[in-house]
A = this chain, B = another copy of it.
Amino acid sequence: MRPMDPSRIEGLRLVIEVAATLAFALSGLLEAARRKLDAVGACVVAFLAAFGGGTLRDLLLDQRPFFWVRHVEYVWAVLVLSVLAMIVLRARHLALTERAILIPDALGLGLFAAAGTDMALGLGHPPLIAVLMGVVTGVFGGVLRDVVCNEIPNAFRDHRPYAVVAFIGGWLYVGLERLAVGADWALVITVVAIAAVRLLALARQWTLPRWRV
């Protein structure tokens, strides 16, 4: 395919990255509000939700410096967001916020899964490992958020397709990369596919198979 305009794709990527990071942080703040954490707990949980997945991926792949060390402005943004949330958030806002973050969260799942897969492929890892690193990037922020809040991670028990969409999307990315469609197109197609399937799964209330134990 024709290569995309580089500044355009970079701009689009940045917009999704910022929106998704703030959506992930907000998911942490909602959880912190529900569990009545204090201001410190709220900041930490927001931080874990926003950066935990990418940090765990970088630890596993031995990549430094971390994303949030290179882009310290994201850390400031999450700190400011946490303080604002503590001032502004009221009980009646919780459900509303939860709905508002569904779309940036789905786009973020796509972006982070594609970026994680791409990074691991670039380091020469086998496809399955690369796809799992994409899943870790997209999903484990929420897992760490829930573990610290003393809950079984939502991603592991709500029977909604989330990690599984990232897993399939990761294989799509691997396939597109093999077809040499170009990294930009592979990224765009994977993000759109993951976000679309995730939102469709929510709208149609698709569920994962259940244990028959």
A7-40 vs B: 1/0 string, CB under 8 Å?
0000000000000000000000000111111111
Q: Interface size class for chain A?
A: 35 or more
Interfacial chain B residues near A55, Cβ < 8 Å = 60
A90–B68 CA distance with the chains assembled, in angstroms: 45
Interfacial chain B residues near A44, Cβ < 8 Å = 143, 156, 163
A40–B164 CB distance below 8 A: yes
Interfacial chain B residues near A159, Cβ < 8 Å = 38
Q: Which of A78-121 contact B (CB under 8 A)?
A: 86, 89-91, 94
A147 at the interface (CB under 8 A from B): yes
Tell whether A41 pairs with B153 under 8 Å between CB atoms, given A72-B129, A128-B72, A132-B75. Answer: yes
Interfacial chain B residues near A68, Cβ < 8 Å = 129
A204 at the interface (CB under 8 A from B): no
Complex A-B, nearest 5 residue pairs according to Cβ-Cβ distance, in ascending order: A41-B156, A38-B159, A40-B163, A33-B213, A38-B208
